[in-house]
Amino acid sequence: MYTLKNDSYLKALLRQPVTHTPVWMMRQAGRYLPEYKKIRSQAGDFMSLCRNPELACEVTLQPLRRFPLDAAILFSDILTIPDAMGLGLYFETGEGPRFQNPIRTHDDIKKIPIVDPVDELGYVMDAVSTIRKALQGDVPLIGFSGSPWTLATYMIEGGASKAFTKIKKMAFSDPRALHTLLDKLADAVTLYLNAQIEHGAQSVMIFDTWGGVLSESAYREFSLRYMHKIVSGLKREHDGYIVPVTLFTKGGGQWLEAMAETGCDALGLDWTTDLAQARARVGDRVALQGNMDPSMLYADQDTIVQEVNKILSRFGHGSGHVFNLGHGIHPDVDPEHARIFIEAVKEHSKSYHL
């Protein structure tokens, strides 16, 4: 598979034999690393870092220089698409992402332009090409996007939310308007991920951070339906190689069977779902990625190693598991604890692949 020195991540997603369980961490390029903070302060704000392909490449590679990770993930933000649609993304300290021009009316939705990812998000494509080249075939590069529902929550709420009042008002009182928006976003995400694949991403992941705030039927109608549409529209092969697709709905542990039906290759799991039960439920239809609580990295070495062993044993023998945290690594984690975690996975997983 490719001429990758380490293709364990791609093989595990396709449930092909591996010699250890591959491991990476959501937000592995991030604020818990002092070398990241240094580059981040050079770049200015967060989006300036995302928009600078050389610096984005540098921070993508930083965790790989420290730890024996099995994949790199594009350094970017899930909200680049709405930003390119003209909503004006900015970050307020301690407040998370916000939009200058959130969607208020049906008319705002009609006016949303179709975004050409190569023209409008050229900085992302440049980052993908730059990183892919810099990786020199060591490990695969993961591209990603937010899910249409998750993008829409930020676009309609204007930023992060607790109760998702505005988007739920629209979902339940004017569903047609929301479907118009979600459909545009599904098209935009499909184009965006396909462009990432063409520029060098060897696997893609869709982050549905907020699908879990819906009921099952609303999840199927407003989130899963559009991820399904994206999966159906993705280039699943590029340069003669399969490009595995992973769906991750945080809080989606109750809906794994439905998610597997989209035809994706793997599902991301947060830590609330037991991995043995998840594997029993999805069978060999998809691989599973996850699922240690990121807060476990606050624990001491013995506790971290014990938890790694517990999760490895819950998945059990054979391929089809990519080890990860159940959500992004916390910014105040000691990088040495991340090392303990990653090395424990690589060391202790071998016996599950004999």
Instruction: Please report, as ranges, the residues that interact with a copy of itself according to CB under 8 A.
Output: 163-165, 168-169, 171-173, 212-219, 251, 253-254, 271-274, 277, 291, 293, 295-296, 298-300, 303, 310, 326, 330, 332
174 assigned to active site: no
State the catalytic residue, choosing from 36, 154, 192, 226. 154
Closer residue to a copy of itself (CB): 24 or 222: 222
Neighbours of 1 (CB within 10 A): 13
Helix axes 165-173, 175-199, angle to 10 degrees: 120
Q: To the nearest 10°, the Cα dihedral for 218, 219, 220, 223?
A: 120
Residue 347 has phi, psi (to 5 degrees) of -70, -50
Q: In the bound complex, what is the minimum distance in angstroms from residue 217's beta carbon to a copy of itself?
A: 7
Q: In the bound complex, what is the minimum distance in angstroms from residue 165's beta carbon to a copy of itself?
A: 7
Q: In the bound complex, what is the minimum distance in angstroms from residue 36's beta carbon to a copy of itself?
A: 19
Burial 299-333 (b: 16+ CB within 10 A, else e): beeeebbebbeebbeebeeebbbbbbbbbbbeeeb
For residues 297 and 300, what is the distance between their CA atoms, to the nearest angstrom? Answer: 8
Q: In the bound complex, what is the minimum distance in angstroms from residue 252's beta carbon to a copy of itself?
A: 9
Cis status, amide bond into 291, omega within 30 of 0: yes
State the catalytic residue, choosing from 7, 9, 27, 226. 27
27 assigned to active site: yes
36 assigned to active site: no
Closer residue to a copy of itself (CB): 237 or 300: 300
Closer residue to a copy of itself (CB): 179 or 353: 179
Closer residue to a copy of itself (CB): 129 or 209: 209
Closer residue to a copy of itself (CB): 243 or 325: 325
Closest CA to 248 of 206, 285, 212, 217: 206
Closer residue to a copy of itself (CB): 101 or 272: 272
83 assigned to active site: no
51 assigned to active site: no
Q: To the nearest 10°, the Cα dihedral for 346, 270, 59, 138?
A: 40
For residues 329 and 352, what is the distance between their CA atoms, to the nearest angstrom? Answer: 25
For residues 128 and 122, what is the distance between their CA atoms, to the nearest angstrom? Answer: 10
State the catalytic residue, choosing from 15, 40, 132, 279. 40
Q: In the bound complex, what is the minimum distance in angstroms from residue 6's beta carbon to a copy of itself?
A: 29
Q: In the bound complex, what is the minimum distance in angstroms from residue 240's beta carbon to a copy of itself?
A: 40
Closer residue to a copy of itself (CB): 126 or 274: 274
**DSSP character string of 32-58:** TSHHHHHHHHHH-SHHHHHH-HHHHHH
For residues 244 and 13, what is the distance between their CA atoms, to the nearest angstrom? Answer: 7
For residues 62 and 69, what is the distance between their CA atoms, to the nearest angstrom? Answer: 11
Q: Is the distance from CB of 128 to CB of 199 less than 8 angstroms?
A: yes
Q: In the bound complex, what is the minimum distance in angstroms from residue 296's beta carbon to a copy of itself?
A: 6
State the catalytic residue, choosing from 66, 77, 126, 293. 77
**CA angle 31–37–38, rounded 5-degree value:** 165
Which are the catalytic amino acids? 27, 31, 40, 77, 154
